[in-house]
Chain A
């Protein structure tokens, strides 16, 4: 398979993840969709690594995975804290930071 296919798949997954972020109201699911977008980026990176023939892209993808893990940890911690305070788990309700 030529590289283009992989990149198209990556773009498709990325936009699916983006629309998911915009559409869902549960912050947990929003984080999941963020993971989707990150994975799409990973796919693109690995594709380019294959294209160039060196491992740089794969290293990048691993680092991205690390970052994603950290982000999930912190984000889920936030959600747990929100839940503990008995606030509704709904991004449309959590909007005190407004102008």
Chain B
């Protein structure tokens, strides 16, 4: 079993290295298949690991496999070790499975782009980093995987690097991620100081003894870990990078910013559950932030006009659900939603990619419409994804989202309030999701759609940056000249079809009152949790909650139908009536401006001050210039003695002689 686990981790790395080293040696199409094959190998190995794990006894399902023991220095037991337990196996299966499908999709989607090989190399590197993060058995490897994932995200967001908007977005993502990295490392140190070990299992055993309940250090460490989680998972207030990250190619958005990287925060909290259970204050912070993000992102999703950004805010919102879940000890529910969300969100992004290709790169919802007849397959996938997202039975999203809310109600206390807000969020989710679908696919076909109905894919007369309108070319660093839609590419259809099936039937692993396969599967990973057994998903209230959830979803779809299909003039009237709220939502709750004011400008000021005053004035002027000036003055003074006048030298001699004589006379 450990062998297959290591293969899971190393296959993408091998793929990355092979692609990177052979980029000139092989034709570019081959690299796409090499990448896909590497991830497929990883997926097969992940399934093998899953089977092997289930074949073991219940008590033996947390295995640490050590490959290398670094020299122990300073009391830190650094080992190259992976932890194979149900939680990590679930994650690797989801990650490698969804990644395989996305690689398959990218094989056709990115064809024609001059950076095709680089794309697949980066994608493989990303999958390797994510798997490393998930399989890590100690904090060190976790941090390494965390950082690598951030780097891969940066590479891929600014993939079209000659676009200034893309590079700016990449930098923004990276900087916010680094803020999270700092939190993660500091949190690790806080916890390491008391427990003395970086190994996960050792730390979790040591937590109850090392810290009392809600111990100050532990809460601080846990909140710092949360900072890391929020940055990676785009929660308030470290969320501003995710919408801008849509500058990257659509497969990147699907893989990194929907299915995998942004879920790393959820995984972190679930993995660190002993810490959060011992420091409930921090867990409460997580729950509240998750809930706040959930609502805030949903409100922004209602007004955004960029297709991919709608889906991005939807991601932010759904991850808010997950964070809320795992912070409130609904671990199985949170992981369940993570899995189903990966399916339907990746599907939504893929479909969006297809639509954007049909629009020749434009992502503006205002310019889209009526693609239903021209792109039936894409439309079908989008609807399936939308239904899953809105929580309509029998799609997978229904079971996972309502399980979260059910467990929250079961938890009782103020968590019930969170559940109510969660239901409100579900309503908003349905509204904005189907707003997007109705606006893009229903209504009168726009010219691009009409062209497509006649069998001709629209190409813009000149290539421009969709956001700013700058003219581009199709050479390396910019998108390629070809556009690929799902209806025409077999691999795209295959990938989207696979995800559509999973989004539809993925809920069967945890249907209340029928089976609780996931809950049982994950139990060995959470055996030291106080809440895991208590918060059973099959309580009496759960069925009622599920009915309410389904009803809200349907209501949301109905509202969206009314507003954007039946009476398309109404949204403008509502916007006029609620202009203030609309402005708040359109400006994304002014977070970007706030961060600019509070952090960016003072930092820039400090930097300028440091440059002009400290660097130029103090270091260059006083220290460097001062010391050289002093030496120069001293040497000039000494040089002044060499006048060249003979009599001057003689006088110096005489003065010296007199002085010496005086000295000896006095001392005698």
Contacts and interface: CB of A to CB of B under 8 A. Distances in A.
A91 B654 CA distance: 18
B299 to A, nearest CB: 80
A18 B645 contact: no
A22 B654 contact: yes
Contacts of B651: 22
B644 A98 contact: yes
A21 B654 CA distance: 10
A95 interface: yes
B514 interface: no
Contacts of A18: 650, 654
A98 B649 CA distance: 11
Chain A CB within 10 Å, residue with most, of B642, B646, B650, B651 = B646
Interface in A49-99: 91-92, 94-99
Given A22-B651, A22-B654, A99 B642 contact: yes
B654 A92 contact: no
B56 interface: no
A99 B639 contact: yes
Interface string B488-528: 00000000000000000000000000000000000000000
B650 A92 contact: no
Contacts of A91: 645-647
B643 interface: yes
Interface in B634-660: 639, 641-647, 650-651, 654
Contact of B644 (A21, A30, A97): A97
Contacts of A27: 646
A25 B646 CA distance: 9
B645 A92 contact: yes
Contacts of B650: 18, 21-22
Interface residues of B, number: 11
A92 B648 CA distance: 10
Interface string A11-36: 00000001001110101001000000
A18 B652 CA distance: 12
B647 A92 contact: yes
Interface residues of A, number: 15
A95 B654 contact: no
A95 B646 CA distance: 8
Contacts of A22: 647, 650-651, 654
Contacts of B646: 27, 30, 91, 94-95
Interface string B315-350: 000000000000000000000000000000000000
Interface in B584-643: 639, 641-643
Contacts of B645: 91-92, 95
Q: Is the interface of B mostly helix, strand, loop or mixed?
A: helix
Contacts of A97: 642, 644
A66 to B, nearest CB: 23
Nearest to B657: A18
B322 to A, nearest CB: 79
A30 B643 CA distance: 18
Interface string B242-277: 000000000000000000000000000000000000
A25 B645 CA distance: 10
A97 B641 CA distance: 12
Contacts of B643: 95, 98
Contacts of B641: 99
Contacts of B639: 99
B647 to A, nearest CB: 5
Contacts of B642: 97-99
Nearest to B641: A99
Nearest to B640: A99
Nearest to A94: B646
A98 B642 CA distance: 5
B618 to A, nearest CB: 33
B647 A96 contact: no
A96 B639 CA distance: 14
A21 B647 CA distance: 7
A23 B639 CA distance: 23
A30 B654 CA distance: 15
B639 to A, nearest CB: 5
Nearest to A18: B654
B648 to A, nearest CB: 9
A27 B171 CA distance: 78
A95 B641 CA distance: 13
Nearest to A19: B654
A94 to B, nearest CB: 7
Contacts of B644: 95-99
Contacts of A30: 646
Among A22, A25, A30, A92: residue with most chain B CB under 10 A: A22
A3 to B, nearest CB: 19
Contacts of A98: 642-644
A23 B646 CA distance: 11
A12 B650 CA distance: 18
A91 to B, nearest CB: 4
A23 B654 CA distance: 12
A77 B254 CA distance: 99
Contacts of A92: 645, 647
Q: Which of A27, A94, A98 has the most CB of B within 10 A?
A: A98
B446 to A, nearest CB: 86
B656 to A, nearest CB: 12
Contacts of A23: 647
A21 B651 CA distance: 9
A96 B645 CA distance: 9
Interface of B: 639, 641-647, 650-651, 654
Closest 8 CB pairs of A and B: A95-B644, A98-B644, A99-B642, A91-B646, A99-B639, A21-B650, A22-B651, A22-B647
13 contacts: A18-B650, A18-B654, A22-B650, A22-B654, A25-B647, A91-B646, A92-B645, A94-B646, A95-B644, A95-B645, A98-B642, A98-B643, A99-B641
Given A95-B644, A95-B645, A99-B639, 11 more contacts: A18-B650, A21-B647, A21-B650, A22-B654, A23-B647, A30-B646, A91-B646, A92-B647, A95-B646, A97-B644, A98-B642
